[in-house]
Amino acid sequence: MDDESTEDDVSQGGAAEDGSGEDDSGEDRADEHLIREAEKIAVALGRMFPGLCEVVLHDLRDPDHAIRAIENNLSGRQVGDSATELGLARIADPQYPSVIQNYPNQFPDGRPAKSTSIGIKNAAGEYVAALCLNLDVSVLSPVTLALSNLVATDTEHRDRPLETLRDRAARELRQAVEARAAERAATPRSLSREDKKALVRQLQRDGYFDSRDAAQTIADLLGVSRATVYNYAK
């Protein structure tokens, strides 16, 4: 009886383990199905507003290659590019707002944009995708009087953009600055003048100044002027 009971337990345990694997696989298939359905929406929305509204679908399961689809491309990004700041925020915090609507943004060439980002959760309550709409409001500027409601953005987001519509060069630079400050048990702004100078020179040696906006980004992080950053780099 004991042997039979043991065999039954092993058999049942094996079945339970197999069932767990099937559940995981089922969740993956469900997430993929959800993202594919969202991709249809992205394509349809983008094609409805050609030359006016870029629609991007992010697969947040793979943040380094998050862009799953980009319709009516206005920002110059490509399928396989990384997630934006909003995508990373949602990955880090399931309680992050699911909809951020009508916030001011900017395309890499300087054109103003009005953006909306919609987070998509799976049945487990985890963000697996995000659908983002970026409206080129510069196209509408000649008729802003008649379309004032359309181009208006929420005032609560004007002080600081929530994201940049380009790849993560600026974000990687910020991470490098914060990491070096952390090595000295400090924040970037609390570093001494000599430490800031050493940090800037190290960033220059590491090639971070190759980015067009690197000096301004570093200046903002350190709480100094752009001219000071260039002086530190000498």
Tell me the C-alpha distance between 103 and 232, whole Å. Answer: 35
CATH class of 10-165: alpha beta
Q: What is the pLDDT of residue 146?
A: 57
pLDDT over 90 (residue 176): no
For range 208-216, the mean pLDDT: 79
The torsion angle over the Cα atoms of residues 61, 66, 72 and 76, rounded to 10 degrees, is: 170
- Report whether 124 contacts 53 (CB < 8 A): no
Q: What is the DSSP string of 179-220?
A: HHHHHTTS-GGGS-HHHHHHHHHHHHHTTGGGSTTHHHHHHH
Does the global pTM surpass 0.75? no
Least confident segment among 3-12, 43-52, 171-180: 3-12
pLDDT value, residue 5: 45
> In the predicted model, is pLDDT for residue 10 greater than 50?
no
Q: Taking residues 176-189, report their average pLDDT.
A: 85
Reported confidence tier of residue 178, pLDDT bands at 50, 70, 90: confident
Spell out the CATH class of 170-233.
mainly alpha
Residues of the chain by 3-state class (helix, strand, coil), percent to 5: 55, 15, 30
Q: For 100-130, how does the pLDDT look when each residue is reduced to its tens digit (9 = 90+)?
A: 999 999 998 888 999 999 999 999 999 999 9
Among the listed ranges 26-35, 53-62, 117-126, 175-184, which one has the minimum average pLDDT value? 175-184
| Cα–Cα distance, 176 to 210 (Å, whole number) | 15
Q: What integer pLDDT is reported at residue 7 of this predicted model?
A: 44
Residue 188's pLDDT band (boundaries 50, 70, 90)?
confident
Q: Exposure of 173 by Cβ count < 10 A (0-12 exposed, 13-18 middle, 19+ buried)?
A: buried
The domain locations on the chain are 10-165, 170-233
State pLDDT tens for residues 132-164.
Answer: 999 998 877 665 555 566 656 665 555 555 665
What local confidence, expressed as pLDDT, does residue 15 receive? Answer: 41
Higher pLDDT, 55 or 175: 55
